[in-house]
Structure 1
Amino acid sequence: MKLKSSLDLERFFTAVRHCQGKVTFETEEGDSLNLKSALCLFVFTAASRDNFAHLSGKVVCQLPEDERLLAPFAEADG
């Protein structure tokens, strides 16, 4: 799922912590950040801080129920 450009990071990270399976952010360059890792959250936050609308990639959930939990943070078409 592609994230909204107006993402509330605090609410998003809280939702990610409630996910039961693995949740990653995968860049178009092939990098993968485990969004349940404190270090990866720091990197994700730093990368998205100034220019989130141009951060290319998508969130991938291991479990369908986690996708539903994170759906409010996704773009309508992604």
Structure 2
Amino acid sequence: MNTIPDLVEPVWRKSSYSDGGANNCVEIADSFPGAVPVRDSKNPTGGALLFPAAAWSAFITTVKGDAWTGERSSRR
């Protein structure tokens, strides 16, 4: 059985690449073994998405690397 972590009081942080004063980025919360909660900084009470840590790590590696060009796929 999977359990959902308590996201009521997590410590949220923004990327060091974002403008610390602006609310135009995503925030993540650490301290959740095996999972990475992600929320919109513009709407902090609007809920969070919960990603498996391995999936989040693969996403970050791809975005930081050369594998992602930033172009949209022509598939729809």
Greater helix share, structure number: 1
Q: TM-score, normalised by structure 2?
A: 0.28
